[in-house]
Amino acid sequence: MAADQCVHGAPPSLSAKVVGSFAYLTIRDRLPTILTKVVDTIHRNKNKFFEEYGEEGILAEKQTIGLLSKLRNELQTDKPVLALTDSLQDAESWNQYLQRHQGPQGDPESVSWFQSPWLYVECYMYRRIQEALWLNPPISDYDVFNEAKTQSYFESQQAVMALCTYWESVKKSMEELSKNQLLDNFNKLLKVSLWGNKCDLSISAGQNNSQKTSPLDSLSSLQPFILVDDSSMVWLSLISAQRPGLSGKITAGRVDIVLDNAGFELVTDLVLADFLVSSGLAREIHFHGKCFPWFVSDVTAKDFQWTIQQTMAANHMWMSKSGVQWQSYMKEGVWSYHDHPFWTQPHEFCDMAADAPDLYATLQGADLVLFKGDLNYRKLTGDRDWNYTVGFKTALQGFEPAPLCSLRTLKANVQVGLQPGQGEKLTSQEPDWMTCGKYAVIQFHSPKSEQ
């Protein structure tokens, strides 16, 4: 099978083989730092493992650390990527993906950390961390990033309180809002969710990166940093999904949110989702999260439930009110949480229809899919060396299950859909504009649109 199932003639994948590139620096510096922190975290929790599992816990800690140190060594010495040896549900598809990249000759040396696509090997590192844990059963469910995620949630409490207070005040007067006021609030909360994506912990190699102030106060000063703003098309897609129901009452569409990070970003997504439902712009929301801890701060089912619980239990009236509402949306099925192994695989999304047809079909049932964050953008565009002016549709390479929108702050050097000269101008003014997290895009595509 060919290495890529997406469009032929797409530019090459970003890779650490370009010495000095962001991919190269990530693999050389950032990933080993993350692995070292994972080892430290496991080691720091040795006593906890002993209390819970006795000597078996201590042995598991030692063996897991051994496997992780071996992994770090493989990475740093550019060794071939190895097949997974655990028997988890997704191991076979990871191993098939490896074979696909080894090509028809099956050369085991041909896929390695510094020579192969960056997207592939970076995802692979997180799967190997899981393998190391899963091979040591007493601690296999231990989330090595949980401490960092929890800390980031607590450190953004002021911003969470400010956001929930604002939101509850809007909600109170929802019935009286004019269409323009509704649109204005939609724009605000969409952009708060966009800027919430600044707070991921993988770009900072696990270093705290939480939101200290409310982005609501800075939305207008942040606007010039949104390089592509298709928010009006997102709004129109919600309006055009509204249909008269049997009783003649207008029913809205289903919105899917492909989540990114836990902590403040997740709260911004929940507030946006609450707004969409309360305003009647969406009938139901499907959240998509990760099956296992991923890219340090990504949301798992546990993080999702924990965040709602914590918000409910907060000693702050508007926070807890929001949390209670979110919990009841979950109970009533207005909101639902889903995970699928494809989200924790290395594929470009244009592979989804062939490699995860069930997930593709699920997304086809949505009226709008919001993809949060940088990694989702890399996967949407295949993490390739596109010209800045290539259309978003071209870069999606046929991935169009439903109208979709990427809400992403730029943290990797892939960007499409810019105006002629825009990328070059930014490069001359600010060489690291693609990776510093200061810029953002709201980029929309509908299967019905030409561009």
9: Cβ contacts below 8 Å, ≥ 6 apart: none
Residue 228 bridge partners (DSSP) = 441
Q: Show contacts with Mg ion in window 245-274 (CB under 5 A).
A: 260-261
Query: Is the Cβ of residue 206 or residue 323 nearer to Mg ion in the bound state?
Result: 206
At closest approach, how far in Å is the CB of 265 from Mg ion? Answer: 8
Alpha-carbon gap, residue 195 to 302, rounded angstroms: 23
Distance CA 64, CA 448 (A): 49
Report the partner that residue 37 touches, choosing among Mg ion, ligand F6P, none (CB closer than 5 to 8 A by kind).
none
Site for Mg ion in 58-77 (CB under 5 A): none
Three-state DSSP at 201 gives: coil
The least distance separating ligand F6P from the CB of residue 132, rounded to whole angstroms, comes to 20
Query: Strand pairing partners for 268?
Result: none
Contact residues for ligand F6P, defined by CB under 6 A? 26, 122, 197, 200, 202-203, 260-261, 295, 373-375, 378, 411-412
Which one, 42 or 412, has the nearer CB to Mg ion?
412
User: Does 298 help bind Mg ion (rule: CB under 5 A)?
Assistant: yes
Residue 375 CB, shortest distance to ligand F6P, in Å, is 3
Task: By CB under 5 A, name the one of 97, 134, 153, 295 that touches Mg ion.
Answer: 295
Q: Which does 382 bind (CB under 5 to 8 A by kind): ligand F6P, Mg ion, none?
A: none
Q: Shortest approach of ligand F6P to residue 298 CB, angstroms?
A: 7
Taking the complex as a whole, how short is the minimal distance between the CB of residue 192 and Mg ion, in angstroms?
17
Do the strands 253-258 and 282-289 form a parallel or antiparallel pair, or are they unpaired?
parallel
- Which residue is associated with the tokens 């390089």? 227
Q: Which does 400 bind (CB under 5 to 8 A by kind): ligand F6P, Mg ion, none?
A: none
Give the whole-angstrom CA distance, residue 451 versus residue 446.
9
Spatial separation of the C-alpha atoms in residues 78 and 71, rounded to whole Å: 11
Give the span between the Cα atoms of 102 and 312, in whole angstroms.
49
Q: Which of residues 205-224 bind Mg ion (CB under 5 A)?
A: none
Q: For residues 254 and 236, give the distance between their C-alpha atoms in angstroms, rounded to a whole number.
A: 14
Of the pair 61, 200, the CB lying nearest ligand F6P is at 200
Q: How far is the CB of 263 from ligand F6P (least distance, A)?
A: 10
Which of Mg ion, ligand F6P, none lies near 122, with the C-beta cut-off 5 to 8 A by kind?
A: ligand F6P
- For residue 301, the minimal CB distance to Mg ion (Å) is 16
DSSP 448: T
Q: Does 134 bind Mg ion (CB under 5 A)?
A: no
From the list 2-10, 193-201, 321-329, 395-403, the region that binds Mg ion by CB under 5 A is 193-201
Which one of Mg ion, ligand F6P, none is in contact with 197 (Cβ closer than 5 to 8 A by kind)?
A: ligand F6P
Residue (122 or 400) nearer to ligand F6P, CB = 122
Which phi-psi region, left, alpha or beta, contains residue 373 (left: φ > 0; alpha: ψ -120 to 50)?
Answer: left
Q: Which residues contact 342 (CB under 8 A, 6 or more apart)?
A: 352, 355, 356, 359
39 vs 375 by CB, closer to ligand F6P: 375
d(CA 123, CA 375): 10
Q: Spell out the residues 6+ positions from residue 248 whose beta carbon is closer than 8 angstroms to its own.
A: none
- Integer Cα distance of 64 and 154 in angstroms: 29
Residues lying near Mg ion in the complex (CB under 5 A): 200, 260-261, 295, 298
